[in-house]
Amino acid sequence: MTLHHKYAIVRKPGENFAQGQTESQLGAPNFAKALEQHAAYVAALEQSGVEVTCLPADLNFPDGCFVEDTTVIADETAIITNPGHESRKGEVNEIEKALKELITARGAYVPLKNIERIESPGTVDGGDVLRIKNHFIIGLSNRTNREGAAQLGRILTACGKTFAIVHATDLHLKTSVAYAGNDCCIVTEEYDRDEEFSNAIEELITRKIVVPENEKYAANSLRVNETMLMASGFPQLEEALKGRFRALPPELPVVRVVTLDMSEFQKMDGGLTCLSLLV
Ligand code: CIR
C-alpha cells in the first residue's frame, strides 16, 4: 500500500532564515538560493500530483519553513505537535489555521476531519515520526520527549494505528531513516546496526537500502505518490533507489526518482521531509 497524497502545506523561508537553529557548521544559507530551492521543491510536489498551499514566511519563526515538525497526519486526524525547541512552539498556530481552511475549502475532498493536540509537558517534532503503512515509529530525541511520545501514541491508537517508540540519535529520527514505499526502508549505517530500530521495522518491510556514511544526508528522502524525491549529489543512493524501483513487478506503477538541490536547507539542518505536510 502506498499512501496517496492530494494536498500539501508548505511555508516559504523568510529573510531571517539563517537565524534558525542549526548545528551543521556548513555556513550561512544564501536566502535567494533558498527561495529558488523552495520553489523547485513546490514544483516537484505539484508534478507528483499534489495541490500545494504555500504559506507566506513569518519572520517571528526563522525555522518556520520546516512545517513537518508542527503536525503529524494520520489520515483523518491532524495532530498538532508541541515542538521541542522553545523558538518553534508558536509555528503551530498558522499551520492549524491552514489545516482548518483546507478542510473547510475542500470539504469532502480532504480526508482530514479531526484535529488533536500534543499538550505540554509533552513535546513532539513531526520530524521524529516515521510512518510505515499504518504503523508510526516515534523517535525520542532532544525535541520529542517521552510524555509527548506517549500522548501521540494514545492519539494514534484511538485513530486505529499502531506505534512503537525508539531512540533518535540525530536531530530527528527522519534525519536518518525514510520509508521509500513498496516495502522498502532507507537507513543510515548507524540505523542499520541499531537493534531497536531494526526490530521496529522488521515486520513492515522486505527491503532495506543502507546509505553509505558519505551520503548520510540523503537518507532524509520523501516518497510522494509515484515520485521519490531525494537530495541531489548522492549517486549511490540514487542508483540504489532507481534499481529498487526498476525491479518492481510490471503491474505496479512506475516510480520516478527526482533529485533536488537542498544545499541551503541542509545548512539549517533541514531536508526534504521537513519542508511539507502531506495530507
Ligand atoms: C531546527 O533545528 O528545528 C531546524 N533548523 C531544522 C528542522 C528540520 N526539521 C526536520 O527535520 N523535520
The response to whether residue 66 sits with its C-beta less than 6 Å from ligand 1 reads yes
Residue 171 has a pLDDT of 95
Residue 241 has a pLDDT of 98
Residue 108 has a pLDDT of 61
Rounded mean pLDDT for each run of 10 residues along the chain, 279 residues in total? 88 97 96 98 97 96 98 96 98 96 76 93 98 98 98 98 97 98 97 97 97 98 98 98 96 96 98 97
- Which residue owns the Cα nearest ligand 1 atom 5? 21
- Closest C-alpha to 277, from 125, 88, 121, 59: 125
Distance CA 72, CA 27 (A): 30
Residue 3 has a pLDDT of 83
The predicted model scores a pTM of: 0.97
- Which residue owns the Cα nearest ligand 1 atom 8? 270
- Which residue owns the Cα nearest ligand 1 atom 12? 127
Residue 226 has a pLDDT of 97
> What is the spatial order of strands in the sheet that 135-140 belongs to?
129-132, 135-140, 162-167
Residue 110 Cα, ligand 1 centroid: separation in angstroms? 27
Residue 232 has a pLDDT of 98
The response to whether residue 264 sits with its C-beta less than 6 Å from ligand 1 reads no
Residue 2 has a pLDDT of 73
Q: Which residues are catalytic?
A: 172, 274
By CB atoms closer than 10 A (0-12, 13-18, 19+), residue 123 is: buried
